[in-house]
């Protein structure tokens, strides 16, 4: 046998891709998390629609935006609470951490899989909101989708770190929400404000929405950078 | 593999409690070293340090010219088999091996994966059976295949035969012997003195985080001798 020279490991992005693909393959097979996320998101939207929609009247844009983002947060929390479950079972996390993948690649892989899962759920959610609340279906809807995508990245970036930190904690579902929600308040506010400005049928505030889009982009950079930095000590093993 | 694994005054403190005190040892390639000791002796902490997943509070572990520490690229040459299989229950055996081979930059092709499965006696497992449906023995075989997938030079075993039936334990022992013959450094943490006696040619006994005995015998340790050494070292 040779001296203990490590084999050349694949690049950072390839490692992250392997990890994301593995998570999505498992989810594709069971559709367990996706089904729960979508169910909860739909229930949230339906409950709010019964509460806020008056017959014959379209609800105000801020209300629709609020409902949409609450549903995103609720369903996203489900995705995050399960993000590391498969690593915990059978101590697969140990095998993963022993692989020559940088911790950052593990984080980005988990983040990518969570974002994909959330975006698929949000597609269903957006369609439901368009139908129930008769929201616009023009080019501005694409900008709402962009806001949702940016908000999802920031939400998942913060959430994946907490999800990993709570890997072995008892009552981790309750703890996850308690720790995560105060952190993601700026994301939800920015997303809801920007969405409300775009969904205003009479006079959409494009400039205001552009500001919130840029703000979310900046938050994404901040949260992903902080996540990359925090993930290593969080999953360390000591 | 020609470089031994050398521990120099390795210590570990968890929240004010000292789990390991100045552990110095040398693990040679082509040997099976059994780490023995009562519960709380620091065996798993030692294995955690050797696996690079736990950082020592003091001291150093060297492998060849390099320090074996947290985040070291040398972890790519370490295979770990614990009492948990360390695989994904929702993936099939082949998918698990393909995933870990890919992470290690190794050929994840069907032929190699099939050869790994055949080597651990899982060659005839249905292709669509997820690991969740495997028996304990099958999971342990898959765990070994996963640990060998990247051709490691150092193999760490933490109570690998716990919950295995006698046939499974015998198979595992034969595998340990095969890995030793292949020139790998094998470190086995166990409570099972019989199993250690059957395979080890180095025995390290820990008590309250300290090495109380470290002895190598190329011919191995007869069970009675090992029991006597253990009693003498641990008082139990």
Query: Tokens at residue B107, please?
Result: 């050929």
Q: Between β-strands B31-36 and B185-189, what pairing exists: parallel, antiparallel or unpaired?
A: parallel
What's residue B236's pLDDT?
Answer: 66
What's residue B34's pLDDT?
Answer: 95
Region A219-228: mean pLDDT is 97
Phi, psi torsion values for B66, nearest 5 degrees: -110, 155
Q: How far apart are CA A195 and CA A197, in angstroms?
A: 5
Bridge-partner residues for B83, per DSSP?
Answer: none
Domain residue extents for chain A:
12-233
Q: Specify whether the backbone of B16 is left (phi greater than 0), alpha (psi in -120 to 50) or beta.
A: left
pLDDT band at residue A2 under the 50/70/90 scheme: very low
Mean pLDDT of chain A, nearest integer: 90
List of chain A residues whose C-beta atoms are within 8 Å of the C-beta of residue B103: 9-10, 15, 18-19, 96, 99-101
CA–chain centroid gap for A101, Å, is: 23
Q: Does A203 touch chain B (CB under 8 A)?
A: no
Segment 146-175 of chain B within 8 Å of chain A by CB? 146, 150-151, 153-154
Contact A99 B100 (CB under 8 A): yes
Contact B153 A101 (CB under 8 A): no
Region B185-214: mean pLDDT is 92
pLDDT band at residue B47 under the 50/70/90 scheme: very high
Query: Tokens at residue A174, please?
Result: 């309750």
Residues A209 and A143 sit within 8 Å (Cβ to Cβ) = yes
Please, what sign has the CA dihedral across residues A13, B69, B54, B142?
positive
B76, B142, B143, B160: best mutation site toward chain A, by most A Cβ within 10 Å? B76
Of chain B, the percentage scoring pLDDT greater than 90 comes to: 61
Q: For B73, which of A15, A94, A100 is closest by C-beta distance?
A: A100
Provide the ipTM: 0.89
Residues B79 and B147 sit within 8 Å (Cβ to Cβ) = yes
Q: How far is B183 from chain A (nearest CA, A)?
A: 7
Region B100-108: mean pLDDT is 89
The pLDDT tens digits for B113-153 are 999 999 998 999 998 999 999 998 899 999 999 999 999 99
List of chain B residues whose C-beta atoms are within 8 Å of the C-beta of residue A232: 71
Please, what sign has the CA dihedral across residues A28, A29, A35, A37?
negative
Region A129-158: mean pLDDT is 89
* pTM (2 d.p.): 0.90
Residue B122: give its domain's CATH number.
Answer: 3.40.50.300
Within a 13 Å sphere around the CA of B7, how many CA atoms are in the beta-carbon half?
27
Give the nearest chain B residue to A8 (CA atoms): B105
> How big is chain A, counted in residues?
238
pLDDT(A6) > 60:
no
Q: Does B98 touch chain A (CB under 8 A)?
A: no
The pLDDT tens digits for A114-132 are 999 999 999 999 999 888 8
List of chain B residues whose C-beta atoms are within 8 Å of the C-beta of residue A95: 80, 86-87, 100, 146
Q: Between β-strands B17-27 and B202-207, what pairing exists: parallel, antiparallel or unpaired?
A: unpaired
Region A186-193: mean pLDDT is 97
List of chain A residues whose C-beta atoms are within 8 Å of the C-beta of residue B104: 7, 9, 99-100
Domain residues for the domain of B44 are 5-234
Residues B232 and B38 sit within 8 Å (Cβ to Cβ) = no
Per the structure, the count of domains in chain B is: 1
The pLDDT tens digits for A55-105 are 777 888 899 999 999 999 999 999 999 999 889 988 899 999 999 899 999
Burial pattern A71-98, b for ≥16 Cβ within 10 A else e, equals bbbbbbbbbbbbbbebbebbbbbbbbbb
What's residue A187's pLDDT?
Answer: 97
List of chain B residues whose C-beta atoms are within 8 Å of the C-beta of residue A9: 73, 76, 103-105
Residues B145 and B171 sit within 8 Å (Cβ to Cβ) = no
pLDDT(B160) > 90:
no
Contact B139 A15 (CB under 8 A): no
Q: Does A7 touch chain B (CB under 8 A)?
A: yes
pLDDT(B16) > 90:
no
Region B147-170: mean pLDDT is 87
Closest Cα partner for A130 from A197, A215, A67? A67
Region A21-35: mean pLDDT is 94
What's residue A1's pLDDT?
Answer: 45
Strand, helix or coil for residue B222: coil
Q: How far is B223 from chain A (nearest CA, A)?
A: 31
């Amino acid at each position: 046998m040779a001296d203990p020279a490590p084999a050349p490991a694949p690049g950072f992005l390839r490692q992250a891709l392997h990890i994301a693909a593995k998570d999505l393959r498992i989810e594709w097979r069971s559709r367990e998390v996706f089904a729960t996320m979508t169910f909860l998101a739909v229930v949230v939207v339906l409950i709010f629609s019964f509460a806020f929609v008056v017959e014959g009247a379209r609800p105000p844009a801020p209300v629709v935006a609020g409902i949409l983002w609450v549903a995103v947060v609720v369903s996203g929390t489900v995705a995050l609470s399960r993000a590391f479950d498969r690593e915990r079972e059978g101590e697969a996390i140990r095998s993963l951490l022993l692989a020559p993948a940088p911790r950052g690649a593990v984080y980005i892989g988990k983040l990518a899989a969570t974002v994909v899962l959330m975006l698929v759920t949000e597609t269903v959610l957006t369609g439901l909101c368009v139908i129930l609340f008769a929201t616009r279906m023009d080019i501005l809807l694409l900008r709402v989708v962009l806001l949702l995508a940016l908000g999802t990245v920031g939400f998942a970036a913060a959430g994946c770190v907490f999800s990993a930190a709570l890997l072995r904690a008892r009552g981790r579902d309750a703890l996850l929400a308690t720790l995560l929600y105060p952190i993601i308040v700026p994301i939800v506010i920015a997303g809801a404000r920007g969405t409300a400005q775009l969904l205003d049928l009479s006079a959409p505030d494009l400039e205001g929405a552009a500001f919130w889009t840029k703000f979310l982009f900046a938050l994404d950079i901040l949260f992903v950078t902080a996540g990359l930095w925090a993930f290593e000590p969080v999953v360390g093993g000591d | 593999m020609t470089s031994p694994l050398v521990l120099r005054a390795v210590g570990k403190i968890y929240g004010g409690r000292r789990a390991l005190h100045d552990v110095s040892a040398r693990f040679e390639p082509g040997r099976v070293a059994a780490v023995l000791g009562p519960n709380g002796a620091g065996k798993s902490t030692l294995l955690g340090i050797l696996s690079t997943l736990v950082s020592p509070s003091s001291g150093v572990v060297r492998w060849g010219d390099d320090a074996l520490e947290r985040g070291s690229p040398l972890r790519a040459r370490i295979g770990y088999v614990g009492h948990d299989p360390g695989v994904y229950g929702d993936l099939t055996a082949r998918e698990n091996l393909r995933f870990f081979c890919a992470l290690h930059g190794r050929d994840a092709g069907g032929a190699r994966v099939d050869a790994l499965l055949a080597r651990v006696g899982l060659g005839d497992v249905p292709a669509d059976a997820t690991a969740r449906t495997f028996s304990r023995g099958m999971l342990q075989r898959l765990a070994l295949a996963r640990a060998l997938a990247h051709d490691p030079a150092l193999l760490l075993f933490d109570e690998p035969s716990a919950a295995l039936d006698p046939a499974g334990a015998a198979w595992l022992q034969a595998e340990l012997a095969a890995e030793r013959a292949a020139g790998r450094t094998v470190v086995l943490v166990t409570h099972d003195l019989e199993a250690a006696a059957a395979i080890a040619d180095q025995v390290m006994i820990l008590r309250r985080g300290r090495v109380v005995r470290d002895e190598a015998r190329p011919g191995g340790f007869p069970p009675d001798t090992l029991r006597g050494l253990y009693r003498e070292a641990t008082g139990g």
